[in-house]
Amino acid sequence: MADVYDPQAIEQRWQTRWDVEGTYQVENDDPRPHWYTLCMYPYPSGSAHMGHVRNYTFGDVIVRYRTMNGYAVLSPMGFDSFGLPAENAAIKTGRHPREFTDERIVQLRSSILRIGAVYDWRRQVTSHSPEYQRWTQWIFLKFLEAGLAYRRNAPVNWCPGCQTVLANEQVLADGTCERSGDAVEKRDLNQWFLKITDYAQQLLDDLDGLDWPERVKTMQRNWIGRSEGAEFSMPFTDGSGNLIEGVAALQVFTTRPDTAFGMTYAVMAPEHPLVADIVSEDQRRAVEDFIALARQSSDVERMSSEGSLDKRGVFTGAHVRNPFTGRPVPVYLADYVLMGYGTGAIMAVPAEDQRDWDFAMAHGLPIIRTIATPEDFDGEAYTGDGVHVNSEWLDGMAKDEAIEAAIAFLEREGIGEGRINFRLRDWLVSRQRFWGCPIPVVHCASCGVVPVPVEQLPVLAPDDVEFLPTGESPLRAHEGFLHTTCPSCGAAAQRETDTMDTFVDSSWYFLRFTEPWNDDSPFSAAAADSWMAVDQYIGGVEHAILHLMYARFFTKALSDLGVAPAGLREPFTRLFTQGMIRLGGDKMSKSKGNLVAPEEILDAQGADALRLAHMFVGPPQDDVDWEGVGIDGCARFLQRVWRLAQGEVGQLPIQRERSPRDVEILRSCHRLIVKVDEDFERWSYNTAVASFMEFTNELYRYVQSEQGPEAGTLAECVDTLLLLMAPMAPHITAELWEMRRGGHIHLERWPEADPALLVVDTVTLVVQVNGKVRDRIEVDAAISEDAARDLALASEKVQSFLEGAEIRKVISRPPNLVNLVV
RNA sequence: GUCGGAGUGGCGGAAUAGGCAGACGCGCCAGCCUAAGGAGCUGGUGCCCGCAAGGGCGUGGGGGUUCAAGUCCCCCCUCCGACACCA
């Protein structure tokens, strides 16, 4: 047997076979227990990069492991094929984004195949396919019908150069457009929103039941941003406290109603609708200048702490009556108060809020402490707990008690109530883009917004379009697309030209995978029921908030709308987020130009070595530096396994009675089974690889030992090693298995450890004196506490350290450890 | 600023429930094999003292709990990540 390990030939052969034989195709009615493994479907960017390789290798290991363990495993793959890069390329080259995208899908798909990852390709889903668009639009209309989709005026990022709205991600840190470099402005536009805020509380609560990384859950909790407090109203007055008639009262939200006696002014957001009504004549000019300034400045400028605070706020000339004291306080505008959160207005308590403190100092406003500060406190605003002072009927109370009392007061007076606020906003899904899924409505002069009838779906963007260098969506200028008739009254009407955010596509693709051929609905509840929720979802931590939050929202909403099963409240039971790949400290990325092409490694050392190297380099959730990925070591290891399995190492096996040495290696073999199972379950692939290496080293010593290997023992050890390695190194193990045993290793059952071989009868007892190891003694595993102690005391080495000193205490933890304290 | 995560040999990392720190790999050193070795095989390799036997020190720093701490508690430092005028 002189076959050389030739990864290229082997890998190609097996990849073809898995594909042709449909090894990993699975039916919905498969009688085996179901398991759904999913890697986040990729944006088709061309050939796979190392991040893809890492991601899909993890997924593939699970697919193969679960399959060998007797599960019907759903392992689909698709492409998140709408998005900006294709459109930008179209603007540059004039080519239709579909051509560009389809080419890249072919590239990416073939490089995913080359790493040996297996999928049920019959289920492939692409966001831009007409069928998928049809059902995305169908879902949108369901949402619209249910009031979960709505249109309203909203301030958006507007690029004057591109003549279009930009997503927040497209605005650079300095407030300029990533494409044109122009300064991005705020503009009010009529935009489509999805009402994710309806689900804020559920999205928060249901996090508790998910087996997700704690940091991802924390990020989602912060993003949802629940805060408890009170909302109440304050009537506008003049400077002496006389009520101003005909103006609505000012609504404010606060988490600290207990500090209201310390309110020395109030602040409204510059965009607040009441501003025009309450500004005094002598302040009108200053207020208008301030509003204009705030409007021009980008969010980034506004959020920064740069710039002096006295310039960032202005007195309105109006006052409101503090309901707690009955006295008027001045009302200011300041850009640190945001219209989008709470009520867009606050009561300001400088003594107990640092930001209010800073503003008060800059504007010469009074500061009244309402909570006694601790003795050693030398800060400015004090936000901790303490006894209330200067607060009349709240005096003497602690924080929590006082909050309750203050809310009770507001409710009694009928001016406010306890209130929960969320930071989460409704999801703005409108994009003024061409390469996205069109929003399926028409605008009719007499009927208003009218949904496109479902039998007319999908609404597809036309092919004969010209991409303008300005970046403006060609849909807006396409007469054939634009003009239509109103489905309701039949009069001439205009199509909506906004397309949906691509996150909409990725919010339900995992459901479509359960039944991608369904022609009557996006998926049937039965199909969803048979596979959902996804048992293991795998992807990058960069999606911790947006994608994972939107997908959760869609699942809940579709469940409530009766599209998805009623009991399906969460899409992803278990989530794993892999670390990033870096090179020399930088994130590996196209824009940084520091990519290492997987192809070169696949050509040289092969997919199995590359996969193994990714598994071995460190904990999967940690970032990895490519420098640390030891491809050569892994390739060398696979060579060792190859030679061992081919019988090229050591003495020829013979048939004979099993010796203690043979049994010893068998024990190692069965311990390995247990170890690998444990490691796979806890995502500790790096240590699993280490134990493969360790066992292989042991086998090398075994076959090279004087006694030589016993045939049956060696065969069992090598076969078991191959089976355990099959998920990680699928090609080489399949090849060796076929050569040795015939048949297909990936259809074999996962090995089970023989309990009899796991029983250990001797153990190394560690003997410590004052916690320092002084001796090691081989003992019976069932040794008693007393026997262990006696053995320890009898040890010569131990005696020399005791030097006759009095033993104060003996800790005996048989069979592992005895500690003698002197 | 707030919230998370992390800090262990020359390097990547291991130590799963408080019980032998450094598994496994890389690198390096030596031996074998060889015409040769950028192949293969065997062994060694935390630091310090010592010819050795042996001993001491050692998981970012400081303190604590414990018979016993990389692991638990308190304080501090550094790095990474997320959110950042959220009322």
DSSP string, A497-516: --EE-HHHHTTTHHHHTT-T
- Hey, what are A645's tokens? 């399995």
CB-proximal positions of chain B, under 7 Å: 3-5, 11-16, 19-21, 23-27, 39-43, 55-56, 67-69, 80-87
Peptide bond into A438 cis (omega under 30): no
Asked if residue A717 lies in contact with residue A653, where contact means CB atoms within 8 angstroms, the answer is no
Residue nearest to nucleotide B80 (CA to C1'): A623
Distances A358 to A309, A354, A381, A673, A691 between C-alpha atoms, Å: 8, 6, 9, 64, 60
Grade residue A592 by pLDDT with cuts at 50, 70 and 90: low
- Through-space separation of residue A697 CA and nucleotide B41 C1' in angstroms: 12
Identify the residues numbered 216 to 275 in chain A whose C-beta atom is closer than 7 Å to any atom of strand B: 218-219, 222-223, 225, 227, 229, 253-256, 269
Tell me: the pLDDT tens digits for A513-563?
A: 999 999 999 999 999 999 999 999 999 888 888 899 999 999 999 999 999
Neighbours of A353 (CB within 10 A): 23
**DSSP state at residue A163:** T
Question: Which residue in the block uniquely carries the two structure tokens 């190297």?
Answer: A613
d(CA A165, CA A431): 7
- Through-space separation of residue A574 CA and nucleotide B80 C1' in angstroms: 25
Torsion angle in degrees (nearest 10) through CA of A596, A602, A605, A609: 90
What does the pLDDT average to over A603-629?
89
* The nucleotide closest to A621 (CA, C1' atoms): B5
What's residue A303's pLDDT? 45
* The nucleotide closest to A312 (CA, C1' atoms): B85
Query: H or E element: which one contains A724?
Result: helix A711-725
What does the pLDDT average to over A105-128?
95
**DSSP state at residue A371:** B
What's residue A306's pLDDT? 47
Pairing verdict, β A448-451 and A441-444:
antiparallel
Whether the CB of A626 is less than 7 Å away from nucleic strand B comes out as no
- Through-space separation of residue A690 CA and nucleotide B57 C1' in angstroms: 29
Tell me: the pLDDT tens digits for A655-714?
A: 999 999 999 999 999 999 999 999 999 999 999 999 999 999 999 999 998 888 999 999
Whether the CB of A785 is less than 7 Å away from nucleic strand B comes out as no
CA-based angle A421:A426:A432, to the nearest 5?
Answer: 155
Identify the residues numbered 167 to 196 in chain A whose C-beta atom is closer than 7 Å to any atom of strand B: none
Mean pLDDT taken over chain A? 89
Grade residue A633 by pLDDT with cuts at 50, 70 and 90: very high
Asked if residue A316 lies in contact with residue A268, where contact means CB atoms within 8 angstroms, the answer is yes
Asked if residue A822 lies in contact with residue A809, where contact means CB atoms within 8 angstroms, the answer is no
- Hey, what are A52's tokens? 């893809």
More confident: A378 or A591:
A378
Whether the CB of A770 is less than 7 Å away from nucleic strand B comes out as yes
* The nucleotide closest to A225 (CA, C1' atoms): B86
Q: Residue A146: is its pLDDT beyond 90? A: yes
**DSSP state at residue A343:** T
- Hey, what are A661's tokens? 């040495």
Whether the CB of A341 is less than 7 Å away from nucleic strand B comes out as yes
Grade residue A304 by pLDDT with cuts at 50, 70 and 90: very low
**DSSP state at residue A434:** S
* The nucleotide closest to A425 (CA, C1' atoms): B86
Distances A128 to A456, A504, A520, A551 between C-alpha atoms, Å: 17, 12, 19, 18
Question: Which residue in the block uniquely carries the two structure tokens 């409204």?
Answer: A268
User: What is the phi-psi region of residue A612: left when phi exceeds 0, alpha when psi lies from -120 to 50, beta otherwise?
Assistant: alpha
- Through-space separation of residue A215 CA and nucleotide B72 C1' in angstroms: 22
d(CA A693, CA A388): 66
* The nucleotide closest to A630 (CA, C1' atoms): B26
What does the pLDDT average to over A284-296?
84
Query: What pTM was estimated for this model as a whole?
Result: 0.91
What's residue A482's pLDDT? 93
Whether the CB of A81 is less than 7 Å away from nucleic strand B comes out as no
Please give the order of strands across the beta sheet that includes A809-813.
A772-780, A762-769, A817-821, A809-813
d(CA A452, CA A471): 27
Which of A7, A26, A30, A29 lies closest to A18 in space, CA to CA? A26
End-to-end CA distance of chain A: 63
What does the pLDDT average to over A728-751?
96
- Through-space separation of residue A301 CA and nucleotide B2 C1' in angstroms: 20
